[in-house]
């Protein structure tokens, strides 16, 4: 008697269904894992440095510009001070000893003679006159420093090596005792009237100074200013 065929059909259908459902569950878990991987990637991106905010960048630019303006302003002020007010000069020779020594640094006030007249005894810096250039063509020093001895209208002369102004001996406490002020040939200076607008200048080292005894009086327009303080060496800082 043949066996009934319908008894095998129900046993196979549920197996197929279970297999499909299981595969679907596994695939879903894989997708979830992949999704979790993408999530981890997003967290790593959050750790990367962020670009600077526009406001902070603008602040840095403003700070830089402000510092540049401050530095530029300071340089401009220094240039104006040097050009119109005060300038430092170094002493190139020993012609002003013992008052100033070679290598000393002094400050020169360029406004002094715009506010008052040149005074006898002032230590001044002036541009080298043409007569001095002719006497020493190889000397390239552009500015000289000497002491004002004679003023416009004075009659200057020497008697026994002592300077006389308008026939009166000139006190010179800045000179070592016994210093003689004579002409390059060792003789006394004959009386000479100083022209208007000009000055007779001499170095304090009378025996080793090329000054008005060599190149004559200097024009007031050549005067740069009055040396008023020595600033170097540091141990010799003081007024002149």
Percentage of the chain exceeding pLDDT 70: 72
**209 in catalytic set:** no
Tell me the per-residue pLDDT of 13-24, one tens digit each, with 9 for 90 and over. Answer: 443 433 344 443
Exactly one of 112, 146, 181, 212 is catalytic; which is it?
A: 146
Going by C-alpha positions, the residue among 224, 1, 216 that lies closest to residue 122 is: 224
Domains and CATH numbers, the chain: 86-239 (2.10.109.10)
56 has catalytic annotation: no
Of the candidates 93, 95, 181, 209, the residue annotated as catalytic is 95
pLDDT in tens, 67-106: 888 888 877 777 766 666 899 999 999 999 999 999 999 9
Mean pLDDT of the chain: 81
Distance CA 68, CA 93 (A): 40
């Amino acid at each position: 008697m043949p066996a009934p065929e319908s008894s095998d059909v129900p046993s196979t259908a549920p197996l197929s269904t279970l297999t499909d459902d299981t595969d679907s569950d596994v695939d879903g878990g894989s997708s979830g894992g992949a999704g979790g991987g993408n999530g981890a990637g997003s967290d790593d991106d959050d750790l990367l440095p962020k670009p600077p905010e526009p406001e902070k960048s603008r602040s840095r630019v403003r700070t830089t510009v402000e510092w540049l303006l401050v530095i530029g302003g300071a340089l401009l002020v220094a240039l104006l001070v040097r050009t119109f007010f005060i300038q430092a000069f170094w002493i190139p020779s020993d012609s002003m000893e013992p008052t100033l020594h070679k290598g000393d640094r002094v400050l020169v006030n360029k406004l002094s003679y715009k506010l008052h007249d040149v005074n006898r005894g002032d230590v001044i810096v002036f541009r080298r006159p043409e007569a001095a250039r002719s006497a020493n063509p190889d000397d390239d020093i552009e500015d000289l420093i000497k002491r004002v001895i004679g003023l416009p209208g004075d009659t200057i002369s020497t008697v026994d090596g002592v300077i006389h102004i308008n026939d009166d001996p000139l006190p010179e406490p800045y000179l070592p005792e016994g210093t003689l002020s004579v002409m390059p040939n060792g003789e006394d200076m004959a009386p000479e009237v100083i022209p208007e607008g000009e000055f007779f200048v001499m170095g304090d080292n009378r025996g080793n100074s090329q000054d008005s005894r060599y190149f004559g009086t200097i024009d007031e327009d050549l005067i740069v200013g009055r040396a008023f303080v020595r600033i170097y060496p540091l141990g010799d800082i003081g007024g002149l």
